[in-house]
Amino acid sequence: MSFSKAQTEAVTHGKGPCLVLAGPGSGKTLTIVNRMKYLIEELKVRPEEILVITFTKYAAAEMKNRFIQLMGNKSLPVTVGTFHGIYYGILKWAYRFGPQNILSEEEKYQLIRHVVNHQEIEIFDEEDFLQEIATEIGKIKNNRLDIEEYRSVKCDPAAFCNIYREYENERKRVRKIDFDDMLVLCCELFQSREDILRMWQEKFQYILIDEFQDINQVQYDVIKMLAAPQNNLFAVGDDDQSIYGFRGADAKLMFQFQKDFPDAKQILLDINYRSTSNIVENALKVIANNELRFEKAIHANKERGASLHVQEVRDPVEEAEYVLDEIQSRIEAGGKPEDIAVLFRIHTDARPLVEGMMERKIPFQMREHMPNVYNHFIAKDIRTYFKMALGSRERQEFLQIMNRPKRYIGRDSLSGKTVAFEDLRRFYCDKDWMLDRVDQFEWDLKMLVKMAPYAAIQYLRKRIGYDDFLREYAKERKVKINDLFEVLAELEEASRPFATLEEWFTHVEEYTNALKLREKKREEIRDGVRLMTMHAAKGLEFDTVYIIEANEGQVPYKKALKEQGVEEERRLFYVAMTRAKEVLKIIYVKNKNGKETSPSRFVDELFLV
């Protein structure tokens, strides 16, 4: 493999700051590992003086491996790690921190849950809420924001302030630090102890950073201190692939680098070695619509290759079938499942596909957690209605749905572990209006049992009045009714293929168990088609890539638009497109959850001349 002129220039850069702007597939890793070699062999830098920072442990391990290979299987004492890993190492050394001082992610959630439960806030989806709160806490720390001035997007600002303070107090009380504290504490340590800072500055003479576009304020502040005074700082990044704004990453820091180091050398790695020129040109067409970016003229090294294919399908069920058929024929033709990836914006977009993969027994791997829609409270209500329609009379089940919608049935009317409609009628014998309601309830259950699940859910929504219940529920708990209707519509759509309630139950149970099993073995599964979010695909490459649900609302994801704006969503779409080496297919649906939906604006941008 021979280096391009720009790659050579980057590898052989001498002292002082250098910003390497790199397009996708332009060989960033290759450049970094070769520069490490160059520093050691040509500039006679001691390996101990080299620090390489990546964003994930996975990337760090990959980088180290490639370096060892390049050095002829010799392991040299260079330091390669993540920001968190490196900064934690410094804290460990300074404060004798150990694992007992680290708040694991699980402990962190427990702590947040504990704190939240002490506030008087109505929560409709606890898992979702806690996650959002954790993200906001991280954002404050990573951007070094003032809690007094921070406006929470998830809950009342005063309540959030309390949650944050309580969380911090509790954390300190148990003498633990969370992931983000590692960065903040390291920054404070360097600011307050010049002697310690000097020692680390002397240790790391050359600093190389990969994926520089994902750096956040506190990481940047620390690295600037650490690199001084020589500023042998070699930063490689692609502002177009900055996709962690929601976690505090700030691509503007790449522009800041130029201001902070005006004499920095700038190099552009402008050749894409990964993808066919068709893929590269189309991806550039999309990203060109972003305003905040370094203009780069990127060229593909490969031939034109297959044309980019955009496929319109009726709905997510047809979409899953389309992709599954394609994948099956690729595998039958000798393609390796691991070389195929299906990318989506949010996990829930993948449900029909996951169900189909399981059914057709196509091997697949999914590293991220996939939430199970059947665990949602709406799904649980539907299940209970169906169970009762099939004859179950458990008190617990009755309690769950007897007032969804409101029937004004009181708990005091129930006695024993099971419930009989006759007993209810006896209890309400002197209240005609209640007798009517009890009769109607029983009648509705009799109607449900005769229907296919799809019709039964519609009957539940419109005739029984479950939609009205949800409207009231949303109003009382101040949650968005449309979010609830979306879940309901998804469940309705997913029930379409089943002829009877029993069939539906079997499917839900099998799917739930299979998903649970996968969750347990998530880390062990290494083979099969790769299913992942666009975020998780960062840094990876596959022969064939399918991007599904390329629809407005999904990508750009409507919930993310408000926070990060359309440009970050466009970058995400660009990252997804540029993962493909040979074949890229983008699919959008015409109809989702019973509503017409339009293709993503990014798909439209592909067709603009």
Ligand X SMILES: Nc1ncnc2c1ncn2[C@@H]1O[C@H](COP(=O)(O)OP(=O)(O)OP(=O)(O)O)[C@@H](O)[C@H]1O
474 is in an annotated binding site: no
Q: How far is the CB of 3 from ligand X (least distance, A)?
A: 5
1 contributes a contact to ligand X by CB under 6 A: yes
Q: How far apart are CA 571 and CA 591, in angstroms?
A: 25
Between 8 and 564, name the residue whose CB sits nearer to ligand X.
Answer: 8
Q: Which residue among 28, 387, 530, 601 contacts ligand X (CB under 6 A)?
A: 28
> Pseudo-torsion of CA 455, 461, 465, 467, nearest 10°?
180
In 28-101, the DSSP E strands lie at: 50-54, 79-82
Between 5 and 463, name the residue whose CB sits nearer to ligand X.
Answer: 5
572 contributes a contact to ligand X by CB under 6 A: no
Q: Provide the sign of the torsion angle of the four alpha carbons 111, 112, 118, 124, taken in this order.
A: negative
279 contributes a contact to ligand X by CB under 6 A: no
Q: Which residue among 8, 12, 29, 311 contacts ligand X (CB under 6 A)?
A: 29
Whether 496 contacts 306, CB under 8 Å:
no
Site for ligand X in 532-551 (CB under 6 A): 539
24 is in an annotated binding site: yes
Site for ligand X in 42-81 (CB under 6 A): none
Q: How far apart are CA 21 and CA 258, in angstroms?
A: 12
Q: How far is the CB of 31 from ligand X (least distance, A)?
A: 8
Contact range with ligand X by CB under 6 A, out of 20-28, 108-116, 139-147, 356-364:
20-28
CA distances from 271 to 6, 34, 167, 275, 502 (A): 9, 17, 48, 10, 57
Structure tokens at 271: 């050749």
Between 103 and 580, name the residue whose CB sits nearer to ligand X.
Answer: 580
152 contributes a contact to ligand X by CB under 6 A: no
608 contributes a contact to ligand X by CB under 6 A: no
What three-state secondary structure class fits 591? strand
Q: How far apart are CA 462 and CA 578, in angstroms?
A: 45
Binding letters toward ligand X, positions 192-231, x by CB under 6 A: ----------------------------------------
Q: How far is the CB of 339 from ligand X (least distance, A)?
A: 13
Whether 557 contacts 569, CB under 8 Å:
yes
208, containing H or E segment: strand 206-209
Between 514 and 536, name the residue whose CB sits nearer to ligand X.
Answer: 536
How many residues are there in the chain?
Answer: 609
Q: Which residue is nearest to ligand X (CB)?
A: 27
157 is in an annotated binding site: no
Q: Which residue among 18, 22, 456, 484 contacts ligand X (CB under 6 A)?
A: 22
CA distances from 428 to 108, 391, 399, 412, 465 (A): 49, 22, 17, 11, 22
Q: How far is the CB of 274 from ligand X (least distance, A)?
A: 4
Between 11 and 155, name the residue whose CB sits nearer to ligand X.
Answer: 11
Q: How far is the CB of 239 from ligand X (least distance, A)?
A: 11
277 is in an annotated binding site: no
536 is in an annotated binding site: no
Q: Which residue among 83, 164, 273, 511 contacts ligand X (CB under 6 A)?
A: 273
∠185-535-371 over CA atoms, to 5°? 95
Q: Which residue among 35, 108, 139, 274 contacts ligand X (CB under 6 A)?
A: 274
Contact range with ligand X by CB under 6 A, out of 22-30, 222-230, 315-323, 499-507:
22-30
453 contributes a contact to ligand X by CB under 6 A: no
22 is in an annotated binding site: yes
Between 456 and 577, name the residue whose CB sits nearer to ligand X.
Answer: 577
397 contributes a contact to ligand X by CB under 6 A: no
Between 29 and 290, name the residue whose CB sits nearer to ligand X.
Answer: 29
Q: Which residue among 6, 10, 21, 30 contacts ligand X (CB under 6 A)?
A: 30
138 contributes a contact to ligand X by CB under 6 A: no
- The Cβ-side half-sphere exposure at 258, using a 13 Å CA radius, reads 9
Binding letters toward ligand X, positions 87-106, x by CB under 6 A: --------------------
- The Cβ-side half-sphere exposure at 424, using a 13 Å CA radius, reads 26
- In one-letter notation, the amino acid at residue 360 is R
305 contributes a contact to ligand X by CB under 6 A: no
What would the DSSP string read from start to end of 15-37?
SS-EEEEE-TTS-HHHHHHHHHH
Q: How far apart are CA 199 and CA 497, in angstroms?
A: 66
Site for ligand X in 161-180 (CB under 6 A): none
27 is in an annotated binding site: yes
237 contributes a contact to ligand X by CB under 6 A: no
Three-state SS across 166-196?
A: HHHHHHHHCCCECHHHHHHHHHHHHHHCHHH
Q: What's the N-to-C CA distance of the chain in angstroms?
A: 36
Pairing relation of β-strands 18-22 and 265-269? Answer: parallel
34 contributes a contact to ligand X by CB under 6 A: no
556 contributes a contact to ligand X by CB under 6 A: no
Q: How many residues touch ligand X (CB under 6 A)?
A: 18
331, containing H or E segment: helix 316-332
297 contributes a contact to ligand X by CB under 6 A: no
- In one-letter notation, the amino acid at residue 439 is D
Q: Residues comprising the binding site for ATP?
A: 22-29
Residues at the contact surface with ligand X, assessed by CB under 6 A: 1, 3-4, 7, 22, 24-30, 238, 241, 273-274, 539, 578
